[in-house]
Structure 1
Amino acid sequence: MLSEGQLLALHVLANGIADVAFSLSLGALAAFTWKTLPAVYDRKLFLLIGLAALLMAAVQPVQLVVLTAGMTGAASFAELTPQFRDVLSTHAGWILLPQAIAAVATAAAALIPSPRRLRFTLIAASLFALSLFRSASGHAASDGNYSLRELAQWVHLAATGVWAGGVMVSARLLPSLRETQLQHANGERLSLQSATAIVFIVVSGIWNTWLGVDADIQGALHTRWALLLGIKLLFVLAALALGATNRRILQQPPTDQTMHQLSSTLRMEAVLMLAILLLSAWLGSVAPAA
């Protein structure tokens, strides 16, 4: 069986993959809402949402195995299997099942052909349900169900997905637009989308941190949790700096050169988003400072 360190690494990897897939789904959905990409990309966006949702569903069994191994200390998979039912009866265990169901529902809504508006509505409803269940797991669940901490976590999770996912999706698809005017217009809408999401991220992030350390900031300064949070904040600041650079580029007349600069900074920002999401998964696997 895997060692404690290997289980932690697998747990962080599984959570990181789920966070990235969830962000890509929300980013693609936001592209419809904010019209950051033209209708010609609808098929690609629906396909991206479907594949990302299937990946989220596939990660849930891995998370169950890691959770069961951590809870029971089983030394082999044969010892692990009988423990699944007991683990699924716990809050940390049962919350995985509705996440998997919501992910499969999202994938079905995205991949099964239907009228555009109906497909969009079903995807939005499924992702909303998925986000609620995801916000009810991890540290946020320590205050019980339907708590202010879970509400703050839901806002933070959704806003992060819109920001990070929107950047990653646009970094891949926006440069393929041939007209500079179209790139510029869609880039401006992406900038507004990101700025709106960042406001919610900052407010919910401060609230989450305050609750995470039980209002004891000084006592949290020398913990691993605080160290990881500090590293994550450095990446967030770097991403914000790139976002500000994008905004300055968009204030210039749209030319091939300025749109090439926009594409370059978007790609760098997308890499930072991946790092931020993986650090968030790691942070969620470490006990809160308090």
Structure 2
Amino acid sequence: MNDDPLWLAQVAFAALGDIAFASMLGAVLMNGWLSKEKAFATVSPARFGWARARRIGSGGALVLAFANLVLLWLQAASMSGVPVMEAGASVWTVLTATHAGTGWAIAFAGSVLLVLATASGAPMGAGRLAFAAFGALVAAAGKASVGHAADAGAFSVAEVVQTLHLLATGVWGGVVIAGAFAVLPALGTSLARAFLIRIAGKMSTMAVVAVVLVIATGVFNALRGLGGAASVLQQSVWGHVLIVKAVLVATALIFGGLNRWSALPRLRRTASTVDAHTVTNVMRVEGLLMIGVFVAASVLSHSVPGFAFGG
């Protein structure tokens, strides 16, 4: 494992950006669902949950934009070989004269679109949802264009798959993280219980769709990263981290399945406070595991991929 402070900073801010991106996606979806049910109304018992979704959405977009700005500075320091505090003179060169700078500009443009899409305090209608989806696509495509997938060339199948992987992982992790730690607890009152049950059900369905895409694209990325040599799993840091990520994903799937096929059906039958807390608590464990997945993904993206060892 690399112990260089600059590398660690890049990994940390990349992970922060991924978590913010995911939380924003999840919050925007829940904002849309709650807005459709008019939870924004002053008299609605779910208004607090809607307000939290709105704040998490706008806050996540701002944190993503900030993380991207820091990453550009760190990239300039890495590419120029100068101390971080002296990297300012290299930022413009990196931005205008390198492939990494072009990819960063696309990703940052996506984050700006997301800030604009989530800035309003109005209910999240179909138009803003579409605008946010476009911003998320741009942000994910920009990030994919500077990762390991870029080795296959611009607009390659690898880049398209990685873009889908980033979006799907963001949706899965986002509905779980934003839902478990912010929105569902705000719907915990008995008066808002019906909203909680419906939103939790929509979250579960959305997560299933996202998981299918995560697994399909993840397998593609893993096989590509291995370069046909399974021994890379044991012989490289990249391989070790890939195993850790796979274990975290598998464990998160177990907790997600526990909620979908056990806790959530029981909550629908009873609508009890105890079962509502069980759904939220199980989802919190899944959310913590997904945060671990984002950290592992960040380490992978800043490590030499397996196919490089095979020449």
TM-score between the two structures when normalised by the length of structure 1: 0.90
> Which residue number corresponds to residue 290 of structure 2?
273
Q: 2:239 aligns with which of 223, 226, 251?
A: 226
Matches within 5 A, 1:1-290: 5-32=4-31, 38-40=37-39, 41-75=49-83, 77-78=85-86, 80-88=87-95, 89-112=97-120, 116-171=125-180, 172-177=182-187, 178-179=189-190, 180-247=193-260, 248-252=262-266, 253-254=269-270, 255-290=272-307
Gaps in structure 2 of 5+ consecutive residues: 40-48
In 2 relative to 1, CA 192–117 (structure 1 residues): closer, same or farther, beyond 3 Å?
Answer: closer
Instruction: Tell me if structure 2 keeps the 8 A contact 1:34–1:190.
Output: no
Shift of 1:36: 11
Shift of 1:186: 2.4
In 2 relative to 1, CA 108–222 (structure 1 residues): closer, same or farther, beyond 3 Å?
Answer: same
Structure 1 Cα separation of the partners of residues 52 and 108 of structure 2: 23
Identity %: 25
Shift of 1:279: 1.3
Shift of 1:285: 0.8
**How many matched pairs?**
287
Structure 1 Cα separation of the partners of residues 152 and 121 of structure 2: 41
Instruction: Tell me if structure 2 keeps the 8 A contact 1:159–1:197.
Output: yes
Instruction: Tell me if structure 1 keeps the 8 A contact 2:52–2:183.
Output: no
Shift of 1:274: 1.2
Structure 1 Cα separation of the partners of residues 78 and 22 of structure 2: 27
Instruction: Tell me if structure 1 keeps the 8 A contact 2:34–2:50.
Output: no
Farther off after superposition, 121-130 or 274-283:
121-130
Amino acid at match of 2:29: A
Gaps in structure 1 of 5+ consecutive residues: none
Question: Deviation digits for residues 135-167 of structure 1, max 9, x if unmatched?
Answer: 212111111110111111011111101100000
Instruction: Tell me if structure 1 keeps the 8 A contact 2:241–2:300.
Output: yes
In 2 relative to 1, CA 38–276 (structure 1 residues): closer, same or farther, beyond 3 Å?
Answer: farther
Structure 1 Cα separation of the partners of residues 129 and 25 of structure 2: 12
Structure 2 Cα separation of the partners of residues 210 and 222 of structure 1: 16
Q: Tell me the C-alpha RMSD between the 2 structures.
A: 2.3
> Greater RCO between the two (CA within 8 Å, min separation 6)?
1
Instruction: Tell me if structure 1 keeps the 8 A contact 2:18–2:294.
Output: yes
Structure 1 Cα separation of the partners of residues 54 and 136 of structure 2: 13
Structure 1 Cα separation of the partners of residues 194 and 215 of structure 2: 32
Structure 1 Cα separation of the partners of residues 126 and 65 of structure 2: 24
TM-score between the two structures when normalised by the length of structure 2: 0.84
